[in-house]
Amino acid sequence: MVGSAVLAVVGVINVPIIHFSVLWWNSLHQAPSVMQLGKPTMPASMLIPLLMMLFGFTVMFAALLLVRLRAEILSRERTASWIREAVAS
């Protein structure tokens, strides 16, 4: 228990360091190219597919989440009368 708490504290401290390392040590890391205040510096031939895949993954995640939610509700309510009525009709 104590080891996992120490690991969690180290992880929380490490997150801002990882995030800002792109700006602090830009010789080692690529500069921000999509999420910045101005226009993205990534070429459109790479940015458009990236955003399309992000959208597609988000839609797929939402669909799978809804399927899993439906299955969980049916599993918990399998003895309820509204389930028998829905299956019968």
Per-residue pLDDT of the chain (89 residues; tens, 9 = 90+): 778 889 999 889 998 888 888 777 767 667 667 776 677 788 889 889 999 999 999 999 999 999 999 999 888 887 788 777 877 76
Tell me if 44 sits within 8 A of 36, measured CB to CB: no
Tell me if 36 sits within 8 A of 47, measured CB to CB: no
Output the CA torsion sign for 59, 62, 68, 74. Answer: negative
How many whole angstroms separate alpha carbon 35 and alpha carbon 31? 10
- Whole-prediction pTM: 0.57
The amino acid at residue 72 is: E
